[in-house]
Structure 1
């Protein structure tokens, strides 16, 4: 006897609902200003922490960003990086890029930075001597779990990667050894869709080969 609970059975109805959850999880850029219910963000972080991690290292570190001055630095970092990114395109692609809404910084009631703690002693280095990047991948697992848990509660998240991670890390004054993996805007979506925004905007189409399995 281990004392563990019996394993649940996930029936067809559950699997269909889970697929719906995956299909309706969107990278949200437009938010309603409504605040999240008290305790919602903490609950989502706790659920995210159920994600797998290399060597059971649990290297993710969630930082809520509410200070106006720190948010201002993040916005400035985005604007600068966005200008540089725009300059990297030309012609019709540049015009299309300029029309894209790539951040929800002004609307989302919550902003959350997620770091990977590369100095963690948890896990005792198991599984990462040959692939140290597994720590970062573990944090990405937690972020995706957060994303799905949020969607299950009708809450949206937008992953903002167009910014200077070093500048943001410095602005948030986190411990040495933490590296920025994601900056999320979190709140209730202004609209719902099961189609990615970038597909709707004509930026990119769904890749047919993404579901191809190679046999060797």
Structure 2
């Protein structure tokens, strides 16, 4: 690729169709719970989404993730039992109408999804001192979550559904999957082909929460700060979010 001439801007952006596809993927991603099909996921497709996860950014290039692939129904049943116990406990933490709504939500597809995948973090992988983690020790965990997001978006591009199950005690997952002490379970994912993707996030459709206005979440120079550029950007944010709510990629 030729360098830009002095005074000219280098063009590193994707073309319009490629850019629209990236945004469409982000907007169409859903947390899948109840739409899994029993069809197996081909190894080449699984390899592609795992490769996408492995190419996630990581602080200090530590690449702290590993992937525990679960297809065995007996293991899935133990995980499901751990979920059921924790979900019963969780329901009691809500009151009134919220408890009623919570009890009607489908929050996992552990037994139905052909693949369960535990994304883990090896907190010792890069040694005791890591570039970028010298003062914020959780950066390895944050890096592992980047791998989850990469995998999720790659899976959506493949037409696969992904559901993140987080309602169980980490100690239970650690025991079921025989994780060493230094290995932290970060995300337990259900993966598979689906009958359909929902138009909206399930919790939004159920009335649990609505998407917050993005323009209310942006601050300028300091928390609560405003400046002369604020009004114009907030207007652009409103327009972009209105498009996104209709599944239209930003223009």
TM superposition score normalised by structure 1: 0.91
Larger RCO, structures 1/2 (Cα 8 Å, 6+ apart): 1
Partner secondary structure for residue 50 of structure 2: helix
State the partner residue of 2:31: 27
Could you tell me which of 188, 203, 226 is aligned with 1:198? 203
CA-to-aligned-CA distance 1:20-65 (integer Å, 9 cap, x gap)? 1011000000211111123221221111111100000000111101
Q: Is 1:12 matched up with 2:12?
A: no
For 1:143, the equivalent position in structure 2 comes to 148
Q: How many residues align?
A: 210
Residues 78 and 110 of structure 1: is their aligned pair in 2 closer, same or farther, counting only changes over 3 Å? Answer: same
What is the alpha-carbon distance in structure 1 between the residues aligned to residue 186 and residue 101 of structure 2? 27
- Structure 1: 5+ residue stretches without partners: 1-6
8 A contact 1:57–1:121 mirrored in 2: yes
Q: Return closer, same or farther for 1:100/1:65 CA change in 2, 3 Å cut-off.
A: same
> SS where residue 43 of structure 2 aligns?
coil
- Aligned-partner Cα distance in 1 for 2:69–2:202: 26
User: How big is the shift at 1:15?
Assistant: 1.5
CA drift of 1:201 comes to 1.0
Q: Aligned partners of 2:127, 2:45: CA distance in 1, in Å? A: 27
Which deviates more from structure 2 when the two are superposed, residues 168-177 or residues 114-123? 114-123
Q: Which runs of 5+ in 2 are unaligned?
A: 1-10, 222-251
User: Which of 103, 126, 130 pairs up with 1:125?
Assistant: 130
Alignment of 1:17-166 (within 5 A): 17-30=21-34, 31-121=36-126, 125-166=130-171
CA–CA separation in structure 1 for the residues paired with 2:194 and 2:151: 16
TM-score, normalised by the number of residues in structure 2:
0.79
Q: CA RMSD in A?
A: 1.8
Contact 1:58 1:122 survives alignment (8 Å): no
CA shift in 2, pair 1:29/1:134, >3 Å: same
1:106 to partner: Cα distance:
2.1
